Chains A and B, each alone.
Chain A
């Protein structure tokens, strides 16, 4: 079967750093995506990891450990506009399966 777990909600303060974890168990793995989804909008692509290690892209970084079935998304210098849901998604076998998402609230 396939299972993707991530925390339901997180709260952080503007300017801080937050780490959103994702663990997965899948049959067939090509890579892992992170998407951002603001309320009432479609998801937008943030990052893609296929090899173990850290991928940095501006204020956002994503880490993958294939052997542990574990990934995290790191958001630095949080801004109010980062309040959104963050979706972890695993791709393999011509399909991408999404986790339920982590709702991040950024407070002033």
Chain B
């Protein structure tokens, strides 16, 4: 079966711009979570969605937002990009909370 698909794989943006990242979970997985991964901070939790509802969010500024559609696909948006937003953004899906995540390959965002 198809895995978690994230697009695009790589992105270069300028400070002040905004960006939208997309994630298509495994078919049948209704939970989608987003993480930011940097060498210094590791995996930092951004938000979790289930059936179009955001059930929890991490400690990120309001510039980071997301949503989930009725087909479970999810998007995250970062507005007014800063250099510090350069990171690997990982999407993960699971069928239920007690299942392990399946991660996508990530979107590597570089802000210049």
Contact = CB atoms under 8 A, between A and B. Distances in A.
A42 B105 contact: yes
B84 interface: no
Interface residue tally of chain B, by bracket? Answer: 20 to 34
A98 B103 CA distance: 14
Interface in A49-108: 50, 87, 89, 91, 93-101
Given A30-B97, A30-B98, A48-B98, A97 B45 contact: yes
Given A94-B56, A99-B42, A100-B42, A42 B104 contact: yes
Contacts of A46: 100
Interface residues of A, number: 24
A96 B101 contact: yes
Contacts of A89: 43
Interface of B: 33, 35, 41-43, 45, 48, 50, 55-56, 58, 90, 97-106
Given A44-B103, A95-B48, A96-B33, 12 more contacts: A33-B100, A42-B106, A45-B102, A48-B99, A50-B98, A87-B42, A87-B43, A91-B97, A93-B56, A95-B33, A95-B55, A96-B101
